[in-house]
Homo-oligomer: A and B are copies of this chain.
Amino acid sequence: MTGQGKPGAIAGELIAVVVAVTDGEPRVLTIPGAGALPSGPFEPAHRSLQAGLRAWVERQTGHPLGYVEQLYTFADRDRDGGGDARVIAVSYLGLTREEPGAGPGEEGWRTWYDYFPWEDCRGGPPAVIEGVLKPRLRAWATSASAEQRRAREQRVAIAFSLDGAAWNEELTLQRYELLYEAGLVPEAAAAEPVPGRRMQGDHRRILATGIARLRAKIKYRPVVFELMPASFTLLQLQRSVEALAGLRVHKQNFRRLIEQQELVEETGASTPDTGGRPAKLFRFRPAVLIERAVAGTKLPLTRG
Cβ–Cβ contact A49 & B36, under 8 A: no
Is A233's beta carbon under 8 Å from chain B? no
Q: Is the CB of B56 within 8 A of A73?
A: no
Q: Which residue from B41, B60, B88 sits with its C-beta under 8 Å from A12?
A: B88
Q: How far is the CB of A92 from chain B (nearest CB, A)?
A: 10
Instruction: Tell me, rounded to whole Å, the shortest Cβ–Cβ distance linking A118 to chain B.
Output: 17
CA distance A59 to B1 in the complex (A): 9
A67 at the interface (CB under 8 A from B): no
Which residues from B are CB-within-8-Å of A155?
A: 290, 294
Interface 0/1 of A38-74, CB less than 8 Å to B: 1111111011110000001001100000000010111
Residues of B within 8 A of A275 (CB): none
Is the pair A3, B40 in contact by a Cβ cutoff of 8 Å?
yes
Q: Cβ of A56: which chain B residues have Cβ within 8 Å of it?
A: 1
Decide if A102 is an interface residue (CB 8 Å cutoff).
no
In the complex, whether A235 has a CB less than 8 A from a CB of chain B is no
Chain B: minimal CB distance from A14 (Å): 9
- Copies of this chain, complex-wide, total 2
A12 to B88, CA, bound (A): 8
Distance A190 CA – B36 CA, assembled complex (angstroms): 47
> Chain A: interface residue count, which band?
35 or more
Contacts of A8 in B (CB 8 A): 11-12, 41-44
Known: A11-B8, A77-B47. A88 touches B86 (CB 8 A): no
Task: Give complex CA distance A13, B8 in Å.
Answer: 9
A10 surroundings in chain B (CB, below 8 A): 9-12, 42, 44, 88
Proximity string of chain A (222-262) to chain B, C-beta cutoff 8 Å, 1 when within and 0 when not: 00000000000000000000000000000000000000000
- A8 CB, nearest partner CB in chain B, Å: 5
Say which residue of B47, B86, B159 sits within 8 Å of A44 (CB atoms). Answer: B86
Q: Taking the complex as formed, is A144 at the interface, i.e. its CB lies under 8 A from any CB of chain B? A: no
Measured CA separation A157–B44 after assembly (Å) = 38
- Any B CB within 8 A of the CB of A168: yes
A12 B2 Cβ-Cβ under 8 A: no
Further pairs besides A44-B84, A48-B74, A49-B76: 4, Cβ < 8 Å: A1-B38, A3-B38, A155-B290, A174-B294
Q: Which 5 A-B pairs have the closest CB atoms?
A: A7-B11, A7-B41, A5-B41, A3-B39, A73-B73
Interface CB pairs A-B, < 8 A, 16: A2-B34, A3-B36, A5-B40, A6-B11, A7-B12, A7-B13, A10-B11, A12-B75, A12-B86, A12-B88, A49-B76, A73-B73, A88-B90, A168-B295, A220-B303, A296-B303
